Amino acid sequence: MDSVIEAFIGRWQEHLVDADRQMLAPYLEPVIDTADDDDHDETRGWYALDWLVRVHAPAWLELAGLPASAAELRALPKLRAASAAASALPSLEKVRDLVGACLDTSWDAAKDPAKDAAEKALGVAGLPAAMDVARTTTGGMRIVVAAASIARTASQIVAWQAGRAATVRADWTLSWEAATRSLAPTRTRLQHSALRLLEKMIDPTREPR
């Protein structure tokens, strides 16, 4: 198994329950065949970085009620080299600052289970796994950090808004459940998208959809 793909799958599985891990079963045989295919690891890294920026982060932005920012990231050119990453960075940083300003400053995230619900959703949706692969790109680290920050803050906005009433009453169980429900459709959609990313990493000679 290629080491980059192994890292992606291993990291993703850390965040999945047993039922979700079963969705990876059809990929086990094709993944084994990538054992001698490390020549394409840089390409795999760029696929993961592009997915973080133009798929993962925009999905959470849209859910948080920021469709214009989501559209801006989706409209960026495909990230396949350091030059493209450098060109995309100003847009990412602008969106990161905008979404950061939307987070309620009165929210004490350290005490709110809604934050934990958001982190869990991000993990199930493949964020940490894709970050690990995207970090292998040359010149992509700042993009990885900015894209992850956008996704994290946007998901927290949604979780906080969904669980706010229960949080005010210090009903942590209801807060967690409300936040989790609000994130579930986007989390599931990104799970399936991450599977398509895995397919492209298995066969990096084919341009992703």
pLDDT band at 168 (very low <50, low <70, confident <90, very high): low
Q: Where are the alpha helices (DSSP H) in 103-206?
A: 113-124, 127-134, 141-168, 172-202
pLDDT-derived band of residue 143, with 50, 70 and 90 as boundaries?
A: very high
Tokens standing for 102?
Answer: 């939307």
- Does 164 or 202 have the greater pLDDT score? 202
Q: What is the DSSP letter of 78?
A: P
Residues with Cβ within 8 Å of residue 95, at least 6 apart in sequence: 57, 61, 69, 72, 73, 150
Identify the H or E element spanning 100.
Answer: helix 82-102
Q: What percent of the chain has pLDDT over 90?
A: 66
Residue 108: how many other CB atoms lie within 10 Å: 9
pTM value is: 0.91
What is the structure's pLDDT at 151? 98
Tell me the per-residue pLDDT of 95-124, one tens digit each, with 9 for 90 and over: 999 999 998 765 665 567 888 899 999 999
Task: Tell whether the model's pLDDT for residue 167 goes beyond 80.
Answer: no
